[in-house]
Homo-oligomer: A and B are copies of this chain.
Amino acid sequence: MKINPVKGTNDYLPEQTALRDRLQETILSVYRAAGYNRITTPILEDIENLDKSEGGENLNLIFKVMKRGEKLESALEKGDYKNLADMGLRYDLTLPLCRYYAANRAHLPTPFKCIQTDRVYRAERPQKGRLREFVQCDIDVLGDSGSDCEIELIATTAKALLKVGFEGFTVKVNDRRVLRAVLTVCGFEEEKFDSVCISLDKLDKIGAEGVKKELLEKGCNEDSAAKLLTLFEEQVTLKRALDFIGEECEAGVRLQGILENSLYLAKDRYNVVFDLTLIRGQGYYTGTVFEVALPGYPGAIAGGGRYDNLVGKFIGEQVPAVGFSIGFERIFGILQEQGMSVSLGGKKKLAIIYEGSFADAYEAAEGLREEYDCALYLKPKKVGKLLSNLEKSGFSGFAYAENIGEIRFFEQK
């Protein structure tokens, strides 16, 4: 039998689990203080719901759960290989949330502000930092189209990141409608928008000439490509983008308010910037998109956006929605790399060493358990070795069960 966890998943040692639990509790406490409530949804979802969810690339990364019994046999007999699975593991927490809201909205307040901290699954090719099982910490607001939602989500997510120990990060914000207006003004055909965005996203890496070359290869008009790239000759502030668009742009004005208020609430602890090239992969985003970048670490540590049409796919009625998700594994990985650790458990840990009756030792330990986490150890021949092991593994001290009042603390290093 194989002793390693399956590819792309991790076992977590006690110290790692303690750090993960502490990080989650910290994030949860910030979210709860902002008036959000935690909900839980199943990890398993109907396979059709997942397939039809406009999850972008993630749709290719779904772990499928096989049908069972007669239904499986029947599909195999018919050679109906497309229908061997009836469920899948969710690839994010947003799709299950929309289904949840559709099913339970009669019991939920409006607006509905909720927390999800839970596991999701993607059949990624395992590589450094790309896990197949990972935790996301999301907050979402459903049933409110106002831009105050975005301001609150950005401020609250940033507060959680500050509280776990990050600083100097940048919240990048965009609105897909502003980007679309820019592309329209350039004269790109609407069906090419997604493809243009993919090339534009590489501007930092391959430069203006590289992007232009790609756009032409994709059959874009040369004038459109040239016009788009003139915009990027200087830093693209929101004002510059709106001037470029020329006409009234409602989404731009809305975005301006989000940026100004978010920057005001940041109080120089983090930065909030407009980034016209920010798109986010998911097909379901309809307006605002945001992500958090940390200097020195490629990729985003948090991301999200507005997905006003996704609940509607379930109930045929539009429900505005917006959410922000912290990539828990990214922040756990970074903090662990930076040497962050926490003591196991919340309380100081004592070893109670006993010989003879376990029950008597247990009773003696019970008297200390309001104040300490007390682990019972049968007295070994070599007590010195036990004590040095205890000290190494985070115990604060020890006592002998027959003399429980006399706690001996290890010297602080």
Q: How far is the CB of A111 from chain B (nearest CB, A)?
A: 8
Q: Do A42 and B3 touch (CB < 8 A)?
A: no
Residues of B near A63 (CB, < 8 A) are 44, 65-66, 68, 87
A66 nearest in chain B by CB position: B64
Distance A81 CA – B2 CA, assembled complex (angstroms) = 22
With known contacts A35-B374, A66-B85, A155–B362 Cβ distance under 8 A: yes
A38 nearest in chain B by CB position: B17
A68 nearest in chain B by CB position: B123
Q: Do B347 and A32 touch (CB < 8 A)?
A: yes
Q: Tell me if A344 is interfacial: C-beta within 8 Å of chain B.
A: yes
Per the CB 8 Å criterion, the residue count for chain A at the interface is: 92
Q: Do B1 and A359 touch (CB < 8 A)?
A: no
Residues of B near A109 (CB, < 8 A) are 389, 393
- Pick the contact of A6 from B32, B42, B133, B378 — CB < 8 Å? B42
Looking at chain A's contact residues, is the secondary structure mostly helix, strand, loop, or mixed?
mixed
Q: Do A375 and B34 touch (CB < 8 A)?
A: yes
Q: Do A39 and B17 touch (CB < 8 A)?
A: yes
Residues of B near A41 (CB, < 8 A) are 5, 11-12
Distance A148 CA – B360 CA, assembled complex (angstroms) = 11
Q: Tell me if A391 is interfacial: C-beta within 8 Å of chain B.
A: no
Residues of B near A293 (CB, < 8 A) are none
Residues of B near A1 (CB, < 8 A) are 46, 48-49, 52, 99, 313-314
Q: Which of A100-108, A296-304, A322-330 contacts B (4 or more CB under 8 A)?
A: A100-108
Q: Do A38 and B65 touch (CB < 8 A)?
A: no
- Pick the contact of A11 from B9, B103, B346 — CB < 8 Å? B103
Residues of B near A363 (CB, < 8 A) are 265
Q: Tell me if A315 is interfacial: C-beta within 8 Å of chain B.
A: yes
Distance A45 CA – B37 CA, assembled complex (angstroms) = 32
Chain A 27-69 residues near chain B, CB threshold 8 A: 32-46, 48-49, 52, 63-66, 68
Interface string of A55-92 (1 = CB under 8 A from B): 00000000111101000000010000100110101000
Interface string of A289-311 (1 = CB under 8 A from B): 00000000000000000000000
Q: Tell me if A201 is interfacial: C-beta within 8 Å of chain B.
A: no
Q: How far is the CB of A6 from chain B (nearest CB, A)?
A: 5
Interface residues of A (CB under 8 A from B): 1-6, 9-14, 17-18, 20-21, 32-46, 48-49, 52, 63-66, 68, 76, 81, 84-85, 87, 89, 99-100, 102-104, 107-109, 113-114, 119, 121, 123, 132-133, 146, 148, 151-152, 155, 261, 264-265, 313-315, 344-347, 349, 351, 357-359, 362-363, 365, 369, 372-376, 378, 389, 393
